[in-house]
Amino acid sequence: MRNHRDRSLLPARFAGLLLVLLAAPALGQKDPKFEYGKHEEVKAVEWKASAKLGLVISSGNSQSGSGSLGASVSRKAGGNKFALDGGWTYVRSRVLQAADVNNSGFIDPAELIRSDQELNNSWNVKARYDRFFTTNNSAYLVGMAAGDPPAGKDIVGGGQLGYSRQLVKTPRHEAVVEAGYDFSYEGYVDGKSVNIHSLRLFTGYNLKITDSAGAFGNVEGLFNVAPEKVPVAGGGDEAGPFRDTRINFKVGLSSTFFKKLSISLSFGVKYDNVPAPLPAFKIAYAPGFVPFAEKTDTLTEAALIYSFL
């Protein structure tokens, strides 16, 4: 089954509690985090580090569990900034199913079983270096690795290089745009792989709601500029320029409610116009039949974040 699709894993009562906490007066004073490089005046070397944890478990009629872990660390000195972050998301469920094994036309007690299914098992690590030339202009260099086996991608690696421009910077609003080059290597679960050379466009916006609460939104587009030798849904083994379009979108809210402890709620969408072939099941696919992963994934995440530095 395709990952990120079971949005019922976040109970309604828990979601309501999160929204109350986000709107409540905060005890701490901490600005929301950003997901892109930005220039800040730093008189001395400055370190920041944080970790996040999310967990939802259900039992009884609905038996499922999901968890997310993440960590980030950054160092700023003069016009240089280095950041390293990573995360892991895991979702598993036990779905009740019925199978008429003895062909009696009825379901006997022994024919009610629960099927254990891994819905999500994705991870990512990213290192980024920003060199600020002026307050509004900088260059960035990124290296990253990731994996998403339920989506057919055993390993994804690559790098990015480009230019970043800060468009707006006020006490409440901040907007950034970036343009550059992206290289991605995708190793599929079936043993095949593809190299992707793409144009990267990115825009991000941050809103400071109060001294301790904020919201953000960003969207990244990756557009391949060279043909790719890769299986394509609907037939064919090549994706022409700008066909393998990938879009990453994310919005979220965060609020500090006790000293260095924050809570966050986010929603993300990942779109891949040329998805990977699906992993094989215990029974082989029919000759000539190649099923593909869904083009669109969504992920709703609630997490606690603790800042060490």
Provide the pLDDT for residue 231: 84
Read off the pTM. Answer: 0.78
Tokens of 260: 């260095």
Average pLDDT over residues 72-83: 94
Average the pLDDT over each of 62-76, 87-101, 203-217 and give the range with the smallest value.
Answer: 87-101
Residue 154 lies in a domain: yes
CATH number of the domain encompassing residue 162? 2.40.160.40
Residue 171 lies in a domain: yes
How many domains is the chain partitioned into structurally? 1
Residue 168 lies in a domain: yes
The answer to whether the CB of 6 falls within 8 A of the CB of 93 is: yes
The CA distance from 234 to 246, in Å, is: 18
The CA distance from 155 to 137, in Å, is: 33
Residue 305's SS3 state is strand
Query: In terms of residue numbers, what domain contains 42?
Result: 7-307
The answer to whether the CB of 27 falls within 8 A of the CB of 259 is: yes
The CA distance from 307 to 309, in Å, is: 6
Provide the pLDDT for residue 59: 83
Provide the pLDDT for residue 58: 85
Average pLDDT over residues 94-99: 82
Average the pLDDT over each of 41-50, 251-260, 291-300 and give the range with the smallest value.
Answer: 41-50
H or E stretch covering 19? helix 12-23
Residue type, 235: G
Residue 73 lies in a domain: yes
Residue 2 lies in a domain: no
Q: Comparing C-alpha atoms, which of 300, 188, 295 is closest to residue 251? A: 300
Provide the pLDDT for residue 106: 87
Residue type, 284: A
Residue 80 lies in a domain: yes
H or E stretch covering 14? helix 12-23
Average pLDDT over residues 80-89: 96
Q: Is the pLDDT of residue 30 over 60?
A: no
Residue 176 lies in a domain: yes
Tokens of 192: 């095949």
pLDDT tens for each residue of 243-275: 999 999 999 999 998 888 999 999 999 999 999
Q: Which carries the bigger pLDDT value, residue 41 or residue 44?
A: 44
